Structure 1
Amino acid sequence: MNAMYRIVGGLILLALLAGTGVASADTLTVIEPRPDAPSLQLEDLDGHAHTLRDYRGRVVVVNFWATWCPPCRDELPSLQRLWEGLGPDGLVVLGVNVGEDADRIFFFTADYPVDFPLLLDRAASAIDTWPVRGIPTTFVIDPEGRIAYRAIGAREFDHPGITSRLRELQKGQASGASPTE
């Protein structure tokens, strides 16, 4: 129940922020110092288990969303384009659906098709362990498993300003260097 109160409160906050123009299509909030990402162990629509540990050494975008959330629906196509553009270079995109069942998400994807894994947080337990402030909230995890960026509210994830930051992290993935600001 706590998660649902946080989600509703976050949606109210997002509506207020959207009205003031605070959330920009090309912004990600830098998280310093970079905390370790909380664990994540969920099944996808096909019943396959995914853990964040599975993707260690790669840049991972973790997006918390729901089918009933209009900003989530708005940004989902850009996450798909991001995955299509940077996925071949090793970027991972994980969509964590909060509180809904596989059937609802399956029917939803008829109108909003995606090829990256959609994970089921049916009991909203994962959202309680992550610093989510409403949905959509997206985290970028660096190759060492730390949170590098957070975006509260919808973004155009294939925007050049965001993709360049993700490419910088991917370069660091290959060389061990951290991205510069």
Structure 2
Amino acid sequence: MPIESPSRRHVLQASLTVASSALFARAGAQGLTGPAYEVSPWPGPLTAFSLVDTSGKTWRPADFKGRAVLLNFWASWCEPCRAEMPTLQQMADLYGPEQLLVLAINFKEAPARALQFAKRTGITLPVLLDVDGQAARRWGVKVFPTTLAIDRHGQPRLRVQGEMDWTGKAAEKLIASLL
């Protein structure tokens, strides 16, 4: 093993420092640092739809009257979805379905798998089934989780892409704007 001169060692260390700084700067520019979610306006439209939940109930926009709604698109294979789901449940429990309806829309999984996930994790939110992915496509959902927010007047308002802590201050402000 050759012995490196102090000047060569310093050049290598400086090169590594510059390379790692550039890597971290690029990661920040790509959104890999900071919050794990992005909130943007969702102008809609809230098109007519009909989705069945794991208990066999059919859900339509007419079921939302007078309450704010979160449509959370998720899948059991999605780690951020699994991490976010308990905070969605806590927030739904806090507000109650009369004030804030949270619907967990499972993306393209077998109904038994979605139901198994809900039972295993203690999720009591209505789990709707987007078995063919049409609802996700219709509303431009390409990132999981994605939550679409509708205000109590039935107007589409916000899109949250990525994992959000629904028990935090940012979520509290978001929900307040819908009520």
TM over 0.5: same fold? yes
SS across alignment from 2:123: coil
Aligned-pair identity in percent equals 31
- How far residue 145 of structure 1 moved from its aligned partner, in angstroms, is 2.2
**TM-score after normalising by structure 1:** 0.75
Unaligned runs of 5+ in 2: 1-26
Distance 1:82 1:146 in 2: 21
Aligned residues: 153
Q: Look up the equivalent residue of 2:33 and give its one-letter code.
A: G
Residues 60/111 of structure 1: CA separation in 2 closer, same or farther (3 Å cut): same
Specify which of 74, 88, 91 is matched with residue 65 of structure 1.
74
Q: Deviations over 1:112-169 (max 9, x none)?
A: 2211100011111111111213211111111232221111111111212212331232
Give the equivalent residue in structure 2 for 1:111. 120
Give the equivalent residue in structure 2 for 1:42. 51
Quick check: 1:55 aligned with 2:37? no
Higher gyration radius (CA): 2
8 Å CA contact 1:98, 1:124 repeated in 2: yes
Unaligned runs of 5+ in 1: 1-14, 171-181
Residues 22/50 of structure 1: CA separation in 2 closer, same or farther (3 Å cut): same
**TM-score after normalising by structure 2:** 0.76
Distance 1:18 1:110 in 2: 36
Give the 4+ runs in structure 1 shifted more than 4 A: 15-19
Specify which of 169, 172, 175 is matched with residue 178 of structure 2.
169
Q: Look up the equivalent residue of 1:61 and give its one-letter code.
A: L
Give the equivalent residue in structure 1 for 2:40. 29
Give the equivalent residue in structure 1 for 2:162. 153
SS across alignment from 2:80: helix
Distance 1:64 1:16 in 2: 26
Give the equivalent residue in structure 2 for 1:20. 32
Distance 1:53 1:17 in 2: 41
Give the equivalent residue in structure 1 for 2:20. none
Q: Deviations over 1:16-65 (max 9, x none)?
A: 9986225346x63234xx33323331111111111122112210000000
